[in-house]
Structure 1
């Protein structure tokens, strides 16, 4: 057994429960413990470094004087049971985690980098530290636990549930729905004891909505799914008022009220969390062509898949699209530029983006999964294992109320959030790396808004910098006779019960987006009411990101509708949507005049979104405040904001009540230094001002507010005042924006979604490569697929400007 002087003096200890242990893959590349050289885990700080040709572990040891490491090599065990054999019978439905011992044969070897020896004795503190590293949850496992466990909360309806007088329900009455013969998917009303069937669920579980009808008729909001009850106190509890799964802190007591002893219950059905998990991990996006043949797996540079960590397809689809763009390739794929020494590389966004770029673009990890055996009589190679972007997901979600959770998220909101994070990171990166250019600049462009008084015809122009557009898709149902087919026995075919919609073109969506509209403003120049407002492109970006919103309110619930949008591969000309600026003969409204107390100052709600919100029963003041806080375009997002802010003390205070139009904000002036500090993080001055007003000037809370309100329009009030009341009294010079290049674009990639809600279902990306359109479906990368069909239903379209 080899020895070295560092063993006796080693200041090492086992990892604590709250410390991250990086023993699966290297923190600066995706080389892992499964590679022939294995992975070296530092005994001093638990950083994981590859032991192969890249020698990241050796570089870490030299930079930080951490000489001792344990080398871990893992080989996958052969399966004891063939996949074709039927699974073992389960006595209880549960998600059983497969342990490392079940999956891997593991070898460990302690080495000293300073002495250049390995085979060191695993004794004393060193031995205890090695055992602690092997037994500890890895960083990836910690993140997976968060992704697999549903984070439930108590709401006021479960916390203060009032029950009717106690009585015991006969066991026979608990065997089926009170209104039909269904014997599963049964929900017990905790208020009155009614037992009704639920909604139809994933996996073919039936439901006739009798539980829903009961809550509508009686206003009883909280129900528990009987089949999910366990003796340990676990259960599915749903609050229909919140329309969310919740916790009931007094579940045992509430069940006893109806004579149900939870200690006697045996779980007979999968929980909602288990079904959602199963749905996400087994969701079979169409991996066949029009002839039913399996799509051809693709391997090589720029053709690497990403493993789904449970609910991360929304992240994978977006980053695959971004790293297919030349700007992101050039910025982050730097194989010949070494990384500087960083104490915690797993917590550094620059490092993790460089790591992801290397993993996706190098081709180093794009190879068939040797653990997956293709079916007999098949010449096809299995798909890839995929890279697990656990470290990047942690950084992207850190501190964010949505992206830090396990839930499926909106891929478009993730795109906005990620672009902001990347822009913020550029300032610090410029001091460490060469040739740093912000890749997000490719998305930026200027919109010009034109207001014209209907009476005196005077105009006002305003420019706003943007990084994307979100267009509403017109929704028009086809007649019922055209979308309902009958089966041979005269019943409705379930596949055809879903409504069919009239197709629209992308041009129609852009026509609507840029069309003039009438807004209810008073002109201080002539005193009359009414303006036309129109927004057109003052400049056009290199990459145009278009979010297609196919949502309508159905039964007060925002529902995604599958409206086909016709988008071809041909070049699309945006010239018709370009602003020509102030025209000869137009007279501008003076800068010191304000249309209706400030055409730019006073918030003007989107009339269509406002009408939709008010039709739900919300007061106008609340609707205006919600639209002001969320971007003034999307009724669905604004409705979500309203539900979250119902209890705000100023929810019914009008927007213009002493604060110049900032929702819920302070009437006082905002500290310019704080605006500048937020500007250095990548936020615009209007956004920073609104966030500071919303949070009483608290910088930390303002940052959190900005990330949770990515579509906020911002507060332009003080900008106008500053511009008008300059020291020299002259009108400020407008920003000169010059863009005369051709406005021709072609589709380069799409992010597609299957499912009725953006917070459920499955996301994939189709990216145009030299080989053709390539499907990126988590770890699966394949040529072709139903791309022409999916183009019609994409959620995000990325268009690239054509070079002259």
Structure 2
């Protein structure tokens, strides 16, 4: 037997609960499809590449991990037409799978001697073979996270919650009872009948005999896919509901038919895995786009993102954000990931700064912005980098961004900015790259009787502006057609005076006052969110009002005037002192007010949900519409009772009685909008959380930060040029599709580029017109 220089004590055989990374390199977007493949460490099960920066060698040198499974996917020759199906039919898609298109090639790589050993190999020690086989079989960490995210949306139904069982005679689990198929087998949980399923995505055969059994026995609604069974995954389907479901006490129900789920080994892809593959391969397009007329472009700064299922909201936000110069400077290093992010960073998948550097390298290096010649498409777009690790980390613990569902790109933008600031993820800069988005607004209240003025300065990084809505007509299809408006008209509405009744501390009586908001400073980059989401009969809908496309914008006329010579500053009063104890995100307040809520209601909703976003606050307000307390002026509770007052005491006591701490139970109810079931699931998924909720506007340095921004912007003009737009097509921000338009320098000339997931093309004039009706987040650069 040949002698191999392998330290067997360093080899760890992964089990079902182990994290195995085999989708891309921990520090780059090199994948198993690249010429060198991936080196999966047989000690820590992380993947590295021997690409341009040879991260395998670095990992080996720094940590002494020397044995790797080289994991490579090689293209098969294909002769058939690889067209997309015309219509998605759940569980019945016939499409080529990854296994149809690529062969898996494996070998053992010993980094300390730079030796490659063919695998499988009978001469290798048993432990190495066991580890290699387990890595090959393992569901990747990325895929597990995707499955977990999808499965969060799967709930029990009335049929799966009340199953009566009766075991049939001569039970067998090898083959369909009605045909010879021995894969894609489903067992009826009511009687144990075994039938094949429907034809599935990836060419999996099926004759629908499990469904036929349910039609013969209508009360036999729920079946389980045998090949998907393992200790942590199980496919359950209700034919009556025609949907995936959770089955309470599944392990106990399966034991009726002699199935011990703890001993089952998963042999087939689960429905969730098939659904993820289907969504990833589906050709997302903007309605009305004419991609054939657009020229694909490639190069540095022109890299697209592969859609992870419903991740276009994340991709479009990152494309525009990384086009801000400070973000490129902070997170792009031409020499790869900085050494200090590799040294002493044994879990880079848990480090947000590492993930930001990885995104920066992926977008700006140009290594991944090349035509994907593995496709059969006539026009060769990019393969696109997959931000799976970043998405998993940034969404962890968040009730919306942790799922695989479509989300609001603007909410994600504000959430990401907040997380970067809270975690002080500055990259290569001395200060946060988000500082280039910061500016100061001036909020002025003026008593019309005594000319007394209260002036407040608010540090923010975005403004939400109303849209002038003039209805032209309603089409036969019910679609509302609006008169075209401009960004200047929206800013004028935002900047216009608003009259209200005011208890003037100087007049000592209720007077009419005017409130006006304006700019106190002009940032290097200005982010504007036109308020397209409005309440129509208390239902959030998207108003498709065309905003004239213009690349220039002047803000000088919207600058605050300060305290004028005929005005005097009003004394501070106790009510405003209390109100100022909590700094709410002003963009959240503005959004909720534009939806029709008063400012006080908006504050009640935001406070009750931890100031984490617009939707949780909106949902909370809808659930508490009959609560008279939300009609009262918002007064910040004292620190001693602030959290307790924001949750239902009965719900809180129920969670405490289950054994959870009061602090953690309170947070669980807040982040899940008071929903007990969701709170319980959150508690089980976050056992190590400290229970602390930070309610702030992201400004940790308070007055000092405001002064710095004020000094840096002193004397700067308000002339801007549009450099990026996140666009959304669809009637709701939680469906439809997001793309990004970014102005890039192409061969020395500034041109508009459309980033439609992995499709990166020069934007022709007809495509740019889409910005007028679908522009959702605008980013302007100061001239």
Q: Same fold (TM over 0.5)?
A: yes
Q: Report matched runs for 1:613-652 at 5 Å.
A: 625-626=604-605, 638-643=617-622
For 2:327 and 2:708, the matched residues in 1 are separated by 32
For 2:524 and 2:301, the matched residues in 1 are separated by 21
Q: Give secondary structure in 1 for the equivalent of 2:282.
A: helix
For 2:453 and 2:754, the matched residues in 1 are separated by 48
Matched, 1:4 2:4: yes
Alpha carbons 2:422, 2:698 under 8 Å: kept: no
For 1:792 and 1:366, the matched residues in 2 are separated by 29
For 1:89 and 1:405, the matched residues in 2 are separated by 21
Matched, 1:567 2:549: yes
Q: For the structure 1 residues 62 and 313, does the alpha-carbon distance in structure 2 shift closer, same or farther, using more than 3 Å as the test?
A: same
Q: Which runs of 5+ in 1 are unaligned?
A: 162-225, 239-243, 252-269, 376-380, 485-493, 669-687, 721-732
Q: For the structure 1 residues 61 and 89, does the alpha-carbon distance in structure 2 shift closer, same or farther, using more than 3 Å as the test?
A: closer
Q: 2:62 — aligned with what?
A: 63
Deviation at 1:457, TM superposition (A): 1.7
For 2:240 and 2:698, the matched residues in 1 are separated by 34
Deviation at 1:546, TM superposition (A): 0.7
Deviation at 1:504, TM superposition (A): 1.2
Q: 2:523 — aligned with what?
A: 541
For 1:420 and 1:70, the matched residues in 2 are separated by 39
- Aligned residue pairs, count: 639
Q: 1:507 — aligned with what?
A: 488
Q: Give secondary structure in 1 for the equivalent of 2:237.
A: coil
Deviation at 1:522, TM superposition (A): 0.9
Q: Give secondary structure in 2 for the equivalent of 1:353.
A: helix
CA offsets, 1:70-115, max 9 Å, x none? 112211223463236989999x944689765434212211122223
Q: For the structure 1 residues 582 and 667, does the alpha-carbon distance in structure 2 shift closer, same or farther, using more than 3 Å as the test?
A: farther
For 1:136 and 1:231, the matched residues in 2 are separated by 25
Q: Report matched runs for 1:394-413 at 5 Å.
A: 394-413=392-411
Q: For the structure 1 residues 160 and 712, does the alpha-carbon distance in structure 2 shift closer, same or farther, using more than 3 Å as the test?
A: farther
Q: Give secondary structure in 1 for the equivalent of 2:410.
A: helix
CA offsets, 1:479-528, max 9 Å, x none? 34xx45xxxxxxxxx5xx42211111111111111211123331222122
Q: 1:787 — aligned with what?
A: 768
Alpha carbons 2:329, 2:428 under 8 Å: kept: no
Matched, 1:358 2:361: yes
Alpha carbons 2:287, 2:729 under 8 Å: kept: no
Deviation at 1:534, TM superposition (A): 1.3
For 1:600 and 1:451, the matched residues in 2 are separated by 15
Matched, 1:756 2:758: no
Q: 1:796 — aligned with what?
A: 777
For 1:608 and 1:779, the matched residues in 2 are separated by 31
Deviation at 1:282, TM superposition (A): 3.4
CA root-mean-square deviation: 4.7
CA offsets, 1:701-731, max 9 Å, x none? 765565xxx87999x9xx99xxxxxxxxxxx
CA offsets, 1:728-778, max 9 Å, x none? xxxxx9996562111100100100001111011100001111231111000
Q: 2:320 — aligned with what?
A: 321
Alpha carbons 1:308, 1:388 under 8 Å: kept: yes
Q: Give secondary structure in 1 for the equivalent of 2:471.
A: coil
Deviation at 1:398, TM superposition (A): 1.0
For 2:142 and 2:124, the matched residues in 1 are separated by 25
For 2:471 and 2:88, the matched residues in 1 are separated by 46
Q: Give secondary structure in 1 for the equivalent of 2:339.
A: coil
Q: Give secondary structure in 2 for the equivalent of 1:776.
A: strand
Alignment counterpart, residue 585 of structure 1, candidates 566, 578, 582:
566
Q: Give secondary structure in 1 for the equivalent of 2:442.
A: strand
The alignment's TM-score, normalised by the length of structure 2, stands at 0.71
Alignment counterpart, residue 778 of structure 1, candidates 738, 757, 764:
757
Q: For the structure 1 residues 95 and 743, does the alpha-carbon distance in structure 2 shift closer, same or farther, using more than 3 Å as the test?
A: same
Deviation at 1:408, TM superposition (A): 0.5
For 1:444 and 1:66, the matched residues in 2 are separated by 44
My pick for the range that moved more, 13-22 or 144-153, is 144-153
Alpha carbons 2:531, 2:591 under 8 Å: kept: no
Alpha carbons 1:147, 1:311 under 8 Å: kept: no
Deviation at 1:419, TM superposition (A): 1.1
Alpha carbons 1:70, 1:111 under 8 Å: kept: yes
For 2:35 and 2:591, the matched residues in 1 are separated by 61
Q: Report matched runs for 1:187-586 at 5 Å.
A: 231-232=223-224, 234-235=237-238, 281-285=282-286, 289=290, 293-336=292-335, 338-340=338-340, 341=343, 342-375=345-378, 381-426=379-424, 435-480=429-474, 483-484=475-476, 494=477, 497-530=478-511, 531-569=513-551, 571-586=552-567
Q: 1:132 — aligned with what?
A: 134
For 1:548 and 1:351, the matched residues in 2 are separated by 33
For 2:289 and 2:159, the matched residues in 1 are separated by 46
For 1:758 and 1:575, the matched residues in 2 are separated by 32
CA offsets, 1:334-355, max 9 Å, x none? 1236322121122211111111
CA offsets, 1:532-554, max 9 Å, x none? 21111111111111111112322
Alignment counterpart, residue 742 of structure 1, candidates 688, 698, 717:
717
Q: For the structure 1 residues 118 and 608, does the alpha-carbon distance in structure 2 shift closer, same or farther, using more than 3 Å as the test?
A: closer
Q: Which runs of 5+ in 2 are unaligned?
A: 163-217, 225-235, 251-270, 647-666, 675-686
My pick for the range that moved more, 401-410 or 639-648, is 639-648
Alpha carbons 1:603, 1:628 under 8 Å: kept: no
For 1:389 and 1:635, the matched residues in 2 are separated by 25
Q: For the structure 1 residues 655 and 357, does the alpha-carbon distance in structure 2 shift closer, same or farther, using more than 3 Å as the test?
A: same
Q: Report matched runs for 1:561-710 at 5 Å.
A: 561-569=543-551, 571-591=552-572, 593-594=573-574, 625-626=604-605, 638-643=617-622, 654=632, 659=637, 665=643, 704=693, 706=695
Alpha carbons 2:541, 2:731 under 8 Å: kept: yes
For 1:699 and 1:458, the matched residues in 2 are separated by 51
Alpha carbons 1:631, 1:712 under 8 Å: kept: no
For 1:138 and 1:585, the matched residues in 2 are separated by 69
For 1:735 and 1:352, the matched residues in 2 are separated by 28
For 2:117 and 2:708, the matched residues in 1 are separated by 71
Alpha carbons 2:466, 2:594 under 8 Å: kept: no
Q: Give secondary structure in 2 for the equivalent of 1:110.
A: strand
For 1:21 and 1:791, the matched residues in 2 are separated by 45
Q: Give secondary structure in 2 for the equivalent of 1:504.
A: coil
My pick for the range that moved more, 418-427 or 537-546, is 418-427
CA offsets, 1:282-334, max 9 Å, x none? 33225855xx8531111111111100000100000010111122211111111
